Amino acid sequence: MPNWNGCNVSSLRNAFRYRLYPSRTQARRLDAILETCRFFYNDCLAERKTAYQERGETVGTYAQLRQVKARKATNPWAKDVHSHVLQTVVQDLAKAFDAFFRRIKAGEQPGYPRFKGRNRWHSFGFKEHGNGFRVDGRRLKLSGIGRLAVRWHRPTEGQIKTLRISKQAGKWFASFSCVVNEPLPLPATGMDVGIDVGLARLITTSTGERVAHPRFYRTAQRQLRVAQRRVARRVKGSQNRRKAIVMLQRQHERVGDQRKDYLNKLAHDLVGRYDRTRWKTSPSRAWFTGTLPSAAWTPGGATWFSDLRTRLQAPVVSLSW
């Protein structure tokens, strides 16, 4: 019996994320590129919005891509930024509008693309390996930045295609998008399992196995409250407030990392033991929105359910046992 948790596709894209350790000078340059991209994004959004509201015209993606060359020639901050980085900004805006129109067509609540404030722009990208970025030994060489130290905690696989540089909680990361070979099927075990999620336990299987909810968020609530109060007591716009915000972000990042690590290990265990996994019908919306009593509510319930199901690649069906 083939293992349904394997992927049967001709080509796959995998992301490999690594921690970067820039010097102070390199960190300032990375921050400058982020700000340059943010301003360019807001200018492109303003152009589209003004053209439609005042003249009823639509500014297309290719028209704005042609503006990259002029932007580099007239803007001193954009002069040293690689053209692919600015082109990626235009493509990001195009994706935002595509999602906006898709929601309108589907009858969902649309969200018009927003202007990005200083704290709402965290990444920029390169489109082609060897053109703007390349791996140079154990360093990552970026155009306009230089050679960055990288923590290669695991090797990349396949062919590197694109790169995304991001900043999270004061830390810098590089995410490589690689084309990888089709994964080999896992050895067949001849066993299937149904999975149900609940409030008292994270999952209960049709075989009677019960996995307790680790409740990382509840365990960290004391530290989160202290960090949140520290932010609230600082003067808005001050350097001390920015430092306090970074400390709060790192507390939330730690909870997220614990959750992802736990899900990866749980999914790996289930995939190795069963050929096919099926989910019972999705939990109540109250579990996701926190409208249940605090003693019963599971913070991040939607994340737990969707992330684990995605890792198992199992559909949601009606099960009874």
The DSSP secondary-structure symbol of 10 reads: S
In this predicted model, what pLDDT tens digit does every residue of 34-68 receive, in sequence order?
999 999 999 999 999 999 999 999 999 999 999 99
Question: How many domains is the chain partitioned into structurally?
Answer: 2
Based on the fold, state whether residues 167 and 198 are members of the same structural domain.
no
Based on the fold, state whether residues 16 and 99 are members of the same structural domain.
yes
Residue 256 included in any domain: yes
In this predicted model, what pLDDT tens digit does every residue of 110-131 receive, in sequence order?
889 999 998 899 999 999 999 9
Residue 104 included in any domain: yes
Based on the fold, state whether residues 40 and 148 are members of the same structural domain.
yes
In this predicted model, what pLDDT tens digit does every residue of 3-22 receive, in sequence order?
334 444 457 889 999 999 99
pLDDT over threshold 80, residue 300: no
Report how far residue 39's alpha carbon sits from residue 160's, in angstroms, rounded to the nearest whole number: 29
Phi/psi-derived region of residue 144, left when phi > 0, alpha when psi is between -120 and 50, beta in every other case: left
Based on the fold, state whether residues 30 and 161 are members of the same structural domain.
yes
Based on the fold, state whether residues 126 and 264 are members of the same structural domain.
no
The residues facing 194 across adjacent strands are 278
The parent domain of residue 66 ranges over 12-180
In this predicted model, what pLDDT tens digit does every residue of 21-35 receive, in sequence order?
999 999 999 999 999
Angle of helix 221-233 versus helix 239-273 axis, rounded to 10: 160
Q: How far apart are the first and last CA of the chain?
A: 23
- Phi then psi dihedrals of residue 164, to 5 deg: -125, 125
Residue 215 included in any domain: yes
Residue 186 included in any domain: no
CB atoms within 10 A of CB 280: 19
Based on the fold, state whether residues 176 and 229 are members of the same structural domain.
no
What pLDDT was estimated at residue 274? 86
Q: How confident is the model at residue 305 (pLDDT cuts 50, 70, 90)?
A: low
Based on the fold, state whether residues 50 and 138 are members of the same structural domain.
yes
Report how far residue 219's alpha carbon sits from residue 300's, in angstroms, rounded to the nearest whole number: 13
What is the signed CA dihedral for 127, 130, 132, 133, rounded to 10 degrees? 90
Q: Which two tokens stand for residue 185?
A: 């099927």
What pLDDT was estimated at residue 1? 30
Based on the fold, state whether residues 26 and 117 are members of the same structural domain.
yes
Report how far residue 312's alpha carbon sits from residue 186's, in angstroms, rounded to the nearest whole number: 13
pTM listed for this prediction: 0.81
Report how far residue 126's alpha carbon sits from residue 89's, in angstroms, rounded to the nearest whole number: 10
Based on the fold, state whether residues 174 and 207 are members of the same structural domain.
no
Residue 3 included in any domain: no
Based on the fold, state whether residues 164 and 215 are members of the same structural domain.
no
In order, the DSSP letters of 11-47 are: -EEEEEEEEEE--HHHHHHHHHHHHHHHHHHHHHHHH
**Of 180, 209, 237, which residue sits at a domain end?**
180
Residue 321 included in any domain: no
**In 4-46, where do the E strands start and end?**
12-21
Residue 300 included in any domain: yes
Based on the fold, state whether residues 146 and 55 are members of the same structural domain.
yes
In this predicted model, what pLDDT tens digit does every residue of 174-196 receive, in sequence order?
999 999 988 778 788 888 888 88
**Of 132, 149, 180, which residue sits at a domain end?**
180
Residue 162 included in any domain: yes
**Of 157, 180, 203, which residue sits at a domain end?**
180
Using a pLDDT cut of 90, give the percent of the chain over it.
Answer: 58
Q: Which two tokens stand for residue 47?
A: 């152009």
Based on the fold, state whether residues 22 and 155 are members of the same structural domain.
yes
Residue entry with tokens 């040293």: 80
